Amino acid sequence: MNQILKEQFLLDNLSQDQTNVIHDINQYIHQGIKDDNHSVAIIEGAAGTGKSVVLMQLVKSFMTNKSFNSALVVNHPELYKAYQDMAKDFPGLNTKSIRRPTALINDANKNNRKYDVIFVDEAHLLYSKSEPYAHYRGNNQLTDLMSLSKVVVVVYDFNQVFQSKMYWTKSLLYQTIAGHPYREYNMNFQYRMIASNEQIDWIDNLTSQHRINKFPTNSQFDFKVFPTAAALYEKIKEKNSDVGLSRVVATSGFPRIDGRHNVEMDNFSLPWDEWDPQRTHWAKRESSISQVGTIYTLQGFDLNYVGMIIGPSFGYNKQKDCLTIIPEKYSHKEIFKKRSDIQLSSKEYQAFIANVLNVLIKRGKYGLYLTAYDDELRNRLLQTQA
């Protein structure tokens, strides 16, 4: 098994909290398989709290046991590659049981398949509406998965919702599972980043458009704001050479220049990440050091160091001394698609954009290097360093 994936998803030394959650969910699944109802186990937590680690321990236990008809689904193409990669080293696990949700639902309905347990990672990426373009013609993928399985185990982080077609709130989740037995497991301890709680709060406050303060210096987490993207990139290349898994990432909104849709500012110009039909996911490919990562290639993955370029859709509000979101400069229009069943407000669309920044900015385990396209925002962030 690839060592990078093993270290992220299959830890040898689990915390006591993780061990307890795994034990409790294991019992809940066994009981749910015996019952007549379709039940749900909800694993909820913020980015980096070890949700996927817990899930993979359960996957390994149930999906290698031929007594159970089980499946793992994930709607993120890069995570799908990672799980396919790991599954090859699980004796008794059939990689065909790891599916994208639309593929599993359509296949199960066509062939009248039923499951004892279905595991769903990044369940906040499930479609909560029909999406014919992606060959999904149901109304809610979680509803469909519940109808196919005695127990569904879902991993949710409502702060990682960033598209209307994958719109989820806790109230919508409760509405979807209404009438079904369920149990919630909340995970609130940060496992990915070595940053202190105060440093995590600083990042959350920044992306939530709260007042900008000095960055705390009460841990070994490496934080630095750069006056140029070019200087940030040099630092990321240095870290990648030293320890690996160090990448530049950015949010949407960079204008096309001479037909190039690159990330370009000061002396920096690199293309966006590229979809690769091979199983090697973007974060693991060495060639990705020469590209700029996005939410679509990095959600769910750990880096050692992240170089975060805050794009043109974020500015600075001098009166409130905070980062501000400029939706009209956010170029990925998929985020703004309307829905016939839910009326989304401008505040909710802004929350989608903030969530993208928050997910990307927390990718680095050991350090965050930061710059911004907007001059005023970048200059204010430079003042946050000790």
217 & 350 share domain: yes
Instruction: Return the CATH number at 123.
Output: 3.40.50.300
168 & 215 share domain: no
- The three-state secondary structure class of 267 is coil
- The DSSP string of 21-45 is HHHHHHHHHHHHHHSSS-EEEEEEE
Q: For 255-269, how does the pLDDT look when each residue is reduced to its tens digit (9 = 90+)? A: 888 878 899 999 999
Answer with the residue of higher pLDDT: 334 or 137. 137
131 & 215 share domain: no
Task: Decide which of 187, 219, 241 is a domain's last residue.
Answer: 187
251 & 324 share domain: yes
Does any domain span residue 369?
yes
Task: Categorize the per-residue pLDDT at 277 as very low, low, confident or very high, splitting at 50, 70 and 90.
Answer: low
Q: Is the pLDDT of residue 345 over 60?
A: yes
- The DSSP string of 74-123 is ES-HHHHHHHHHHHTTSTT--GGGEE-HHHHHHHHHHHT--EEEEEEESG
Does any domain span residue 371?
yes
Residue 1: per-residue pLDDT:
43
Lowest mean pLDDT among 194-208, 291-305, 317-331: 291-305
Average pLDDT over the chain, rounded to an integer = 90
Number of domains observed in the structure of the chain: 2
Does any domain span residue 262?
yes
Task: Categorize the per-residue pLDDT at 73 as very low, low, confident or very high, splitting at 50, 70 and 90.
Answer: very high
Lowest mean pLDDT among 7-16, 23-32, 283-292: 7-16
Lowest mean pLDDT among 3-17, 252-266, 352-366: 3-17
Task: Decide which of 187, 208, 233 is a domain's last residue.
Answer: 187
Does any domain span residue 344?
yes
Q: Is the pLDDT of residue 279 over 80?
A: no
224 & 309 share domain: yes
Does any domain span residue 17?
yes
268 & 157 share domain: no
280 & 347 share domain: yes
Q: Domain range spanning residue 19?
A: 3-187
In sequence order, which residues have a C-beta less than 8 Å from that of residue 105 and are 6 or more positions away? 136, 138, 141, 144, 145, 148
181 & 256 share domain: no
pTM for the predicted model, two decimal places: 0.85
Task: Decide which of 166, 187, 208 is a domain's last residue.
Answer: 187
204 & 161 share domain: no
Both ends of the chain: CA-CA distance in Å?
A: 41
Does any domain span residue 95?
yes
97 & 219 share domain: no
Does any domain span residue 175?
yes
220 & 153 share domain: no
Lowest mean pLDDT among 185-189, 211-215, 316-320: 185-189
75 & 116 share domain: yes
Q: Is the pLDDT of residue 326 over 50?
A: yes
Q: Is the pLDDT of residue 120 over 90?
A: yes
Instruction: Report the percentage of the chain scoring pLDDT > 70.
Output: 94
Instruction: Put the strands of the sheet holding 98-99 in their side by side order.
Output: 98-99, 70-74, 115-121, 149-156, 39-45, 182-187
Task: Categorize the per-residue pLDDT at 9 as very low, low, confident or very high, splitting at 50, 70 and 90.
Answer: low
Q: Is the pLDDT of residue 131 over 60?
A: yes
Does any domain span residue 192?
no
